[in-house]
Amino acid sequence: MYSVIVRGHMMIAHSLRGEVFGPAQALHGATYLVDVEFRRPDLDADGIVVDIGRATEALGAVVGELNFRNLDDVPAFKGRNTTTEVLARAVFDRVVAAIRRGDLGPGAKAIESVCVTLHESHVAWASFEGPVGPVASAAQ
């Protein structure tokens, strides 16, 4: 299996509901380093999994929608906790949608699965991994 991974980042504010979050129930924020891994069993005719330039642009577009925002005010997350796990899934869904729309090029449709990792600090990170196919189509 081949993989290509590109990194971006976003800086957001949010608050979390639930006693489990302790002081993180207050409005605070995070820088998320966002790594997106694209996987497929074979390379295309150019010898690549995906065009790294287009993958980086697609990731930039996804994080650009969330960057410099207070996620408590973003309609897509209304009524939900924007935990690192939930955000990893949200980035996953948006990247998968971009693949399907052809934003990463026609060859990228051969990508079988994607794994998104969000680093919230040097001591904690989270990820969501899934197929580009059926599971994601029901996603979120």
What letter would DSSP give residue 64?
H
49 belongs to the binding site for its own copies (CB under 8 A): yes
Using the rule CB under 8 A, is 110 a contact of its own copies? no
Helix (H, G, I), strand (E, B) or coil at 111: coil
Comparing CB distances to its own copies, the nearer of 13 and 97 is 13
Binder among 58, 63, 89, 98 for its own copies (CB under 8 A) = 89
**14: its two tokens:** 């949010």
Contact residues for 137 (Cβ-Cβ < 8 A; gap 6+): none
The token pair at 69 is 């925002």
Please give the structure tokens belonging to residue 17.
Answer: 């509901």
Which residue in 75, 101, 122, 138 binds its own copies (CB under 8 A)? 122
Q: How far is the CB of 84 from its own copies (least distance, A)?
A: 7
Q: How many CB atoms lie within 10 A of CB 37?
A: 18
The binding site for its own copies (CB under 8 A) comprises 1-9, 11-14, 16, 18, 20-24, 26-33, 43, 46-49, 51-53, 56, 67-70, 80-86, 88-89, 105, 120-130
